[in-house]
Copies of this chain bind each other. A is one copy, B any other.
Amino acid sequence: MYVPCPSCPLRRKPAFRQKGEEEVAVINSMKSDHLTLEAGSEFIHPEQSDAELYTLFAGWAFRYKELGDGRRQILSFALPGDLIGLQASLFEKSFYGAIALTDIQLCVIPRRRMLRLFERMPEIAYDVTWLGARSEALVDENLLSVGRRGAGERIAALLCSLYKRAEPLGLVKEGVLELPLTQQHIADALGLSLVHTNKTLAKLRSQGLFTISGGHLVIRNLRGLSRFAQHFEEDLAPRPLI
């Protein structure tokens, strides 16, 4: 189900900067494929040497690293419109893996076309760099959480952050966000054990700031949750979409 960039429905969302026809045409000419993958598929492997650059068109994914003995750290979550694989496609090998959290669709920009992309349209190159910087900002925020927030604050901050990112994408319907994370994913993202995550979640829920069940997140008091988590960053919008 190939989607040509000029008729991309994502591009019309308020989260994204509206681009001129010519620019979209160039992006379209760089796009080599439109993949559909099942939940759980790993589309960038640690150590992989020929990873492509992807734009997540639909669904959720995450980047992760792991230690030799299997301990895993989720670095960041990706939502529709996010670029995944910039590091992996620029370096000789990838330092991380990327896995689909739900069934996903990916737009593929071949790594070997990157330099030509930079030559052909500097505005797009600038946008790629911008998106790379935003990706780093997400990891920065996560590192602040894991390093300095307590367990409850971490969970609250993660939920706030995902909610604030999902909203301008139209993923929040009548106050409900479909959250495809298991408690294991939350634990892996926040540097907590599974058990502790479970207990902390239970405690937080009992305070009534949000409910989460069956993969449905409802935030009853976003202001209060943000305050508790000390999470005050808004997602950058409008942002470019490659």
Q: Which residues of A contact B (CB under 8 A)?
A: 63, 65-69, 71-73, 75, 86-87, 90-91, 95-96, 114-115, 118-119, 122-123, 125-126, 128-130, 132-137, 139-144, 146-149, 190-191, 230, 232-233, 236
Whether A139 lies near B139 (C-beta < 8 A) is: yes
Contact of A129 among B96, B129, B141 (CB under 8 A): B129
Chain B residues with CB under 8 Å of A75's CB are 140, 143-144
Contact of A126 among B66, B118, B232 (CB under 8 A): B118
Known: A90-B133, A230-B68. A146 touches B146 (CB 8 A): yes
Whether B67 lies near A149 (C-beta < 8 A) is: yes
How many monomers of this chain does the complex have?
2
Whether A146 lies near B143 (C-beta < 8 A) is: yes
23 A/B residue pairs, CB under 8 Å, sorted by A: A65-B144, A68-B230, A68-B232, A73-B143, A73-B147, A73-B148, A86-B129, A86-B136, A91-B134, A91-B236, A95-B140, A95-B141, A96-B140, A118-B118, A118-B123, A118-B125, A119-B122, A122-B122, A129-B129, A135-B136, A139-B139, A143-B143, A146-B146
Chain B residues with CB under 8 Å of A236's CB are 91
Least CB separation from A133: chain B residue: B87
Per the bound structure, the CA–CA distance linking A160 and B130 in Å amounts to 30
